[in-house]
Amino acid sequence: MPTLQHILVGAICIVLFLGQGSVANVVQAFPTHVNDVAVEDGVKVTEWFEITPTDNHTMRYRGMEQFVQGQHIIPPGLEQRMAGMHTGEVKTFPLSAEEGFGRYDNTKLQTISPSDLPLDAQEGDTVGDGRGTTARIKRIMPEKAVLDLNHPLAGKPLMVTLQIVTIENPDEGATVP
């Protein structure tokens, strides 16, 4: 018999595969199931998210993410608002730039030689250094290229929708229904 986790993951896959509809359609695909287990420090959380900059409603970041609450892997405003949520619960809320991905930092612009870029690189592309650092190519000129090491959502106020898919105890590896 399928568990709630299997149903939720299946619903997410179907919605993402279809690639259509709004947040409301995605949210309707998940049954609301509230139980006694809540997001708190130390639990492993799988959450579905949609983040939209408030100044650009056509740009949307959607996906699933898994992390341990309290390890500060995700932006602080997301972690704070997720605390106390239950499996299946949905929240939509605004986040300031500071609560989200921080202020835009001009000191995170880096100049490199264009020869250090991939041959087919274009302005707007994202490149990585192989060690986990990524940057967006801001400008390519004959003598230099400018990389932006800021998160793409840095400096932007955001509208966020979150849904808790699973809550697990990482020590035991058991999913909490």
Q: pTM to 2 decimals?
A: 0.67
Q: Which fold has domain 4-99+154-171?
A: Chitinase A; domain 3 (3.10.50)
For residue 93, the number of C-alpha atoms closer than 13 Å in the C-beta half-sphere is: 14
What is the full per-residue pLDDT of the chain (177 aa) written as tens digits? 444 444 444 444 444 444 444 444 444 444 444 457 899 999 999 999 999 999 988 889 999 999 999 999 999 899 999 999 999 999 999 999 999 999 999 999 999 999 999 999 999 999 988 787 889 999 999 999 999 999 999 999 999 999 999 999 866 554 444
Q: What is the pLDDT of residue 171?
A: 63
* Cβ–Cβ < 8 Å for 40, 169: no
d(CA 99, CA 106): 19
Question: Which residue ranges make up each domain of the chain?
Answer: 4-99+154-171, 106-148
Q: What is the pLDDT of residue 169?
A: 84
Judging by beta carbons within 10 Å of its beta carbon (0-12, 13-18, 19+), is residue 81 exposed, middle or buried?
Answer: middle
d(CA 48, CA 66): 9
Q: What is the pLDDT of residue 114?
A: 93
d(CA 4, CA 109): 45
For residue 107, the number of C-alpha atoms closer than 13 Å in the C-beta half-sphere is: 1
Q: What is the pLDDT of residue 137?
A: 96
d(CA 165, CA 13): 12
DSSP the chain: ---HHHHHHHHHHHHHHHT-S-HHHHHHHSPP---S-B--TT-EEEEEEEEEETT-TT--EEEEEEEETTS--S-HHHHHHHTT-BTT-EEEEEE-TTTTT----GGGEEEE-GGGS-TT--TT-EEE-SSS-EEEEEEE-SS-EEEE-S-TTTT--EEEEEEEEEEEETTTTEEE-
